[in-house]
Amino acid sequence: MHRFLSKTLAAGLLMVSGQALSAPPPVYRQEVVVAGSPFQGVHGLALDGKGHLLASNLLGQSVHSIDLASGAVSTLVGPPLGGADDVTLGPDGSVYWTGFFSGRLMRRTPDGKTHVLAKDLPGLNSLAFRRDGRLYVTQLGRGEDALSEVDPSGRKPPRRILSGLGLLNGFEFGTDDKLYGPLLMTGRIVRVDVDTGSVETVAQGFELPVAVNFDSRRENLYVVDTMRGELVRVRVATGDKEVVAKLPTGLDNLTVGPDDQVYVSNMVDNDIRVVNPADGAIRPLVEARLSVPSGLAVAPDDPDESLYVADVYALRRVGGRDGKISQTTRVLSSRMTFPMHVSLGAKHVVLSSAYLGQVQVRDRTSGEELRTISNTNGVQGALELPDGTLLVAEATTGKLVRVDAAEPAGTTVLTEGLEGPVGLVADTEAEEPGVYVTEVRSGRVTRVRLSDGARRTVAKGLKAPEGIARHPDGGLIVAEVGRKRLVRIDPATGRSTVIASGLRIGLPESEGLPSGYLPTGVAVGASGTIYLSSDVESALYRFVPEAGKAQP
């Protein structure tokens, strides 16, 4: 009897995906799971000498000002112009910053006007002024490894000085007018004569040094080693090293005040801490719980509705009911990719990242990395099919591709002609198994049949749909980012119902980034509770169905 009832219930659930959903959707109550942050991963730092710390926010496309007395954060330059990897102040008080994705060098003059000084510099990363007012920048990543001089006024084109240094990151000039900085690839701190191009080693033996700054006497360099989570003091004259403080891994940059207090940013924890090098004491200046929450997944059989959150700089497990973060796997200190989407298979977690151009399969129990597949075609959503193959959305090519379960990982095109595919959710239990895809540029939700790649438009007229998930009743829950709302779509009729509107989702598109680059994630628990990530607020929300209440 029980077995019969179970089979009947299962059959009913399978049938619902092919039928119109007759019952009206419930009314939902919006609640905060994890409160937000002013940053989406904090990077370069600079003191303005007026009681404020400037902080660059690459993925949030902003430059911020932080009151050192209160820790209050304000936005100096907002998206999309403020996409800064590093930030510094010029001799006249202008603020300069580098656009890693846009390839633009930007300047905000004291009168509040913003200017583009240079462009077409992919991977633009660190910058610093020499005492004579000359400005230098590095490019690293995106196929570049170079040091160049740029005109602070923007009148002259950039002049490349050196290439192939080994990824020169956060640097500063000494009193000898030579550049001091870390080489990521070799674990060294070097001294560069920008006039002759000569390079000397100052200190070595670091795991992954990412930035340096001088102390107030200009005799010592403070170095952050992101892999070890260490703040290290280096005696420039001898190269001797001393660990000043142990911090969490994921450190990105630093700056040193006239009182020798060291301000350190951490992109994984999305925070800024202040270290007193005299005793190693650490205090928070700006705190956060999430960094860049994007893709979401929840196991359908999990009664606690524990969420997997692709937080770009970390993969986190978050309690859907209590918001507690129970597990964090950090980038750089592990072999994990920079996760932007996440999906769950029976035994595996699948991560995908357009940031690094990778799809990664990890063991759900141990967290062990099992496979990493390169994909530089703007990879978005990825999921594992029951036979172990992967299905991957390529935003750049408009294709859905299958990746073989066995190595070497061969690929075949399931379908093409999609317009900015972003989110994927499987419909493999149907009579004709398929997958639903959100197309961010066309505004469609499309069903693709797995047997032959045949496509059917489920819904159209949406504006920038990104995250998608299936409700237990068979409905599709979609983050319609362009209209700042969450909608429920009947997969049989295409009829949509608004669940919530006026949401804080959808950072503006930025030059150098594909549409839907930072996806707004959606997941649905077995209880019918809907979970949503906010890229604008770096927050996590849930929408709880109100018992006995239905929409008209």
Domain end residue (candidates: 286, 313, 341): 286
Q: Are residue 145 and residue 253 in the same domain, yes or no?
A: yes
Q: Are residue 422 and residue 496 in the same domain, yes or no?
A: yes
Q: Are residue 301 and residue 235 in the same domain, yes or no?
A: no
Q: What are phi and psi of 473, to 5 degrees?
A: -85, 5
Q: Residue 111: inside a domain, yes or no?
A: yes
Where residue 340 sits, what CATH number does that domain have?
2.120.10.30
Domain end residue (candidates: 269, 286, 303): 286
Domain range for 363 is 290-545
Helix (H) or strand (E) run with residue 15 in it = helix 2-16
Q: Residue 449: inside a domain, yes or no?
A: yes
List, in sequence order, every residue forming a beta bridge with 64; answer none if it has no partner: 55, 75
pLDDT one digit per residue (tens) for the chain, 552 residues? 333 333 333 333 333 344 455 567 788 999 999 999 999 999 999 999 999 999 999 999 999 999 999 999 999 999 888 889 999 999 999 999 999 989 999 999 999 999 999 999 999 999 999 999 999 999 998 789 999 999 999 999 999 999 999 999 999 999 999 999 999 999 999 999 999 999 999 999 999 999 999 999 999 999 999 999 999 999 999 999 999 999 999 999 999 999 999 999 999 999 999 999 999 999 999 999 999 999 999 998 898 999 999 999 999 999 999 999 998 999 988 899 999 999 999 899 999 999 889 999 999 999 999 999 999 999 999 999 999 999 999 999 999 999 999 888 789 999 999 999 999 999 998 899 999 999 999 999 999 999 999 999 999 999 999 999 999 999 999 999 999 999 999 999 999 999 999 999 998 877 667 678 899 999 999 999 999 999 999 999 999 998 766 676
Radius of gyration of the chain (CA): 25
Q: Residue 1: inside a domain, yes or no?
A: no
Q: Are residue 529 and residue 416 in the same domain, yes or no?
A: yes
Q: Are residue 88 and residue 177 in the same domain, yes or no?
A: yes
List, in sequence order, every residue forming a beta bridge with 183; answer none if it has no partner: 168, 188
Domain end residue (candidates: 267, 286, 305): 286
Q: Are residue 277 and residue 329 in the same domain, yes or no?
A: no
Q: Are residue 266 and residue 349 in the same domain, yes or no?
A: no
Rounded to an integer, what distance in angstroms lies between the CA atom of residue 251 and that of residue 254? 9
135-141 and 124-129 beta bridge pairing: antiparallel
3-class secondary-structure state, position 8: helix
Q: Are residue 279 and residue 294 in the same domain, yes or no?
A: no
Q: How many domains does the chain have?
A: 2
Where residue 225 sits, what CATH number does that domain have?
2.130.10.10
Rounded to an integer, what distance in angstroms lies between the CA atom of residue 198 and that of residue 551? 71
Q: Residue 40: inside a domain, yes or no?
A: no
Q: Are residue 122 and residue 229 in the same domain, yes or no?
A: yes
Residue 16's pLDDT is 38
Contacts (Cβ under 8 Å, ≥6 apart) of 122: 103, 139, 142, 143, 144, 512
Q: Residue 9: inside a domain, yes or no?
A: no
Residue 201's pLDDT is 98
Residue 15's pLDDT is 37
Q: Are residue 134 and residue 169 in the same domain, yes or no?
A: yes
Rounded to an integer, what distance in angstroms lies between the CA atom of residue 47 and that of residue 40? 20
Q: Residue 95: inside a domain, yes or no?
A: yes
Q: Are residue 193 and residue 330 in the same domain, yes or no?
A: no
Q: Are residue 214 and residue 331 in the same domain, yes or no?
A: no
539-550 and 26-34 beta bridge pairing: antiparallel
Q: Residue 423: inside a domain, yes or no?
A: yes
Q: Residue 452: inside a domain, yes or no?
A: yes
Rounded to an integer, what distance in angstroms lies between the CA atom of residue 55 and that of residue 62? 9
Angle at 394 between CA 389 and CA 399, to 5 degrees: 80
